[in-house]
Each structure stands twice: as structure tokens, then as C-alpha cells.
Amino acid sequence: MTMLDREMLALMREVTDKAILPRFRNLKDGEVEDKGGNDPVTVADKEGEELLAAGLARLDPSLAFVGEEGVHADPKVLEGLSGSCWIVDPVDGTRNFAHGEPPFGILIARAEGGIAQSGWIFDCLSGRFCAAHLGGGAFVDGERIAVRTTGQTPPVAALSMIFMRSERRSAVRENIAPHYSLVDIPYCCAEQYPRLGLGENDVALFQRTYAWDHAAGALWLNEAGGKAARIDGSTYRVDEVERTGLVAASSPAIFEDMAARLARLRGEAA
């Protein structure tokens, strides 16, 4: 484990212990709000982001800070994604957390010029710590890992369709879903990406691709030997803030199969 990884793990544990776990199944009236569109935010999200901002500033104050809650308050914060920045989701899986259910975690990435250079994923309940560095591999609790598939036929797929338009959702259900063994999505990227790397799921499809949800996980999966990319195969960039659609898979072959099916579906729709 690198020095930066150790520092990041200590920070994520600190924020978990101070701001997140004390509120788990203990949220009071007024401590949960709806940002709109069934997108909750809790006092743990807000306090966690403040603590992470302070901690990351101590590690490298030269980087811009792009946090999910900061962007909600001021969309201009997104401009930081084009340069050198920290990208943070203080409680990924807030929907689960607000209902007193797992999974949920903390996501942090460091990016330069639109490309994630490092990423960290912390499971607040189990303490599982995933880390990745561009060109340097992927790790779980300090041990380097290589991605593995479920080995099942058909492949196991978690298809997030809740943010798709109704006609798109219907098309995916009719033309894509029958070719996979479907499982529930965890509503938490801090859980979904490890599932893809550790042999629990084979492929996941995302419509929304916010940097705080995907920068760390996509890097980690790619460094482990899987493939997370846009549907056309292009690299996921954190600064493409308006772009949608992302496929993440436990192997390049499974990625290509899903991407080809989606491309045919798009061609038929055109």
C-alpha cells in the first residue's frame, strides 16, 4: 500500500466514524432532504463532504475540490473537472443509507485533464478498501487483484434503467435483458464496481455517469483487467459532464458483447 493509499484510508475511516456511522439508522427529523427526482441527501453527506474537503486540502491544497453536494449547491464547481482535482462522493448509496440499509460507501478520485489518475472506494460497514492508480494496478485491502468473472452462462448483469426514458427502458428490457441473468442493482457504485471485479457480477449498465459516482470505480475496474468505457468503447472522461451511458464489465469480451447489443439497439431506433 502506498503512502497516499494509507493516508486516504485513514481519512475515509475518520469521516466514516465521525460523520457517517453515528447517523446510520439514527437519522432524525429534518436530517434527510430530497434534492429532487427522488435523490436524497442527509446530514451525513453534507458533514462528510466538509470533512473530506478539509482532509484532502491537507494532502494537496493545489487541487480543486469537486464534491457531489458542492455541485448541487453551485453547478460552477463542475468546471474544476477539466483540471487537476479531487472528486468526491461523501456517501455513495445515500438512498440505501437514508433507509437504514446497506450498501453505502465513500468514493474519492484524483483526476488530471479529465482523466482519473487514482481512485479509492471505501465500504463504510465492512471496511473494505479498494485503490487503483493509472498504470499501477488495482488493489483490495492492500493486495493486488485481477478481475474474475462469475463463470456463469448467460453472464450476470445488473442493469440500471431507472434514469432511462420509458421507451429506452422498454427496448433494453425486450432486447438486452433476455440475454443475461439479471440481478438487482445495489443503488451504490461503491458496491457495484467491486462486484464486477470480484466475481459477483459480470456486467453493469449505467445511464447517469456523474464523475463522483464513476471516476474511482471505472479506473479500479480497468486497472484490475475488466473494462469500463462509454458504449462506443471510448474512454470514460470525468469532464464530459453532459454525456450519458456507460458499460462496465468483468472482461473486455463481456463488455464488447453488451456494447454490440446496445449499438444494434441504437441503430434500430435510428
Nearest to 108 by CA among 211, 6, 243, 229: 211
pLDDT of residue 43: 97
CATH 3.40.190.80 fits 156-269, yes or no: yes
Which whole number is the average pLDDT over 246-267? 92
**% of the chain exceeding 70 in pLDDT:** 96
Q: What is the pLDDT of residue 1?
A: 87
Asked if 259 and 233 count as a contact pair (C-beta separation under 8 A), the reply is yes
pLDDT for the residue 35: 82
Instruction: Please provide residue 187's backbone torsions phi and psi, each rounded to the nearest 5 degrees.
Output: 55, 40
Residue 163 has a pLDDT of 65
Task: Give mean pLDDT, residues 174-193.
Answer: 93
Q: Where are the domains positioned within the chain? A: 3-144, 156-269
Q: What is the mean pLDDT of residues 92-100?
A: 96
pTM of the model: 0.94
pLDDT score, position 150:
97
pLDDT of residue 266: 72
pLDDT tens for each residue of 72-90: 999 999 999 999 999 999 9
The answer on pLDDT for 270 being more than 60 is no
Q: Summarize the confidence of residues 224-245 as an average pLDDT.
A: 96
User: Which of 25-29, 36-40, 164-168, 174-178 has maximum average pLDDT?
Assistant: 25-29
pLDDT at residue 168 greater than cutoff 80: no
Are the beta carbons of 47 and 19 closer than 8 angstroms? yes
In this model, does residue 269 exceed pLDDT 50? no
Better-scored residue on pLDDT, 161 or 187 = 187
Does 154 score more than 50 pLDDT?
Answer: yes
Average pLDDT over residues 187-202: 97
Q: What is the mean pLDDT of the chain?
A: 94
What's the pLDDT score for residue 268? 47
CA 110 to chain CA centroid, nearest Å: 14
Residue 95 binned pLDDT confidence (cut-offs 50, 70, 90):
very high
> Per-residue pLDDT for 267 more than 80?
no
The mean-pLDDT minimum among 45-59, 139-153, 172-186 falls in: 172-186
DSSP 155: P
Start-end of H helices in the chain: 3-15, 43-59, 68-73, 94-98, 166-175, 189-197, 211-224, 252-269
**CATH for 3-144 (3.40.640.10, 3.20.20.20, 3.30.540.10, 3.40.50.970):** 3.30.540.10
Burial level of 238, CB count in 10 A (0-12/13-18/19+)?
buried
Long-range contacts of 233-236 (CB under 8 A, 24+ apart): 233/259, 235/115, 236/209
